[in-house]
Structure formats: C-alpha cells, structure tokens
C-alpha cells in the first residue's frame, strides 16, 4: 500500500483534486502506518482483519492514481505536447 499512498499524496501535493473517498483513504492509511510496523504487515496472512483493510485501502488509492476515480490519468501524449 505504500506505493499507492505515496502516489496519491504526491498527486494531491501537485494540486490534483481528490474525492472525499481518497482523502479518507489517505488518512486511514496514515493511521494504519502508525499502528503497524512493516514487519507486522509482512506477517499478516489471509484476507481478514488488518490485511483486508490494507488491501481495500490500497485499492482505493491505486484507483485514484490510475485514474479510475478522482481527477483522471494523464496520458503521455498530453505531456509530450507541453513545451519545456
């Protein structure tokens, strides 16, 4: 989930708009990062409890960064047409 979290936060810091669902998922991810060490997360098994929560939150953040929800996804054509 850390990669999805980082990408979502960076997008927002770059002035991308985010629906409330994503803002809530970012806050929830931060709370989970404070509650669990990386070793604890790595040892989680199955699809119940905290592991399921991590997977669900990562899915929301990943959907935002891929453009499924939120402001959309920039394509390379649009970026390559911008003059330096």
**Tens digit of pLDDT for each residue in 25-51?**
999 999 999 999 888 888 888 767 888
Between 4 and 65, the more confident residue is: 4
Short-list 63, 44, 45, CA closest to 4 = 63
Average pLDDT of the chain to the nearest whole number: 81
What are the residue ranges spanned by the domains of the chain? Answer: 18-68
**35 vs 66, residue with greater confidence:** 35
Position 70 scores a pLDDT of: 64
Instruction: State the average pLDDT over residues 70-78.
Output: 56
pTM of the predicted structure, to 2 decimals: 0.74
57 close to 3: Cβ distance less than 8 angstroms? no
* 81 has pLDDT over 50: no
The pLDDT score that the predictor gives to residue 79 is 47
């Amino acid at each position: 989930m850390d990669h999805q979290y980082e990408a979502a936060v960076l997008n927002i810091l770059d002035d991308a708009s985010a629906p409330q669902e994503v803002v809530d998922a970012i806050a929830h991810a931060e709370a989970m990062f404070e509650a669990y060490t990386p070793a604890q997360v790595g040892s989680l098994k199955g699809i119940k409890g905290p592991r399921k929560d991590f997977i669900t939150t990562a899915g929301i953040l990943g959907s935002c960064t891929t453009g499924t929800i939120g402001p959309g996804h920039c394509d390379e054509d649009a970026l390559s047409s911008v003059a330096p």
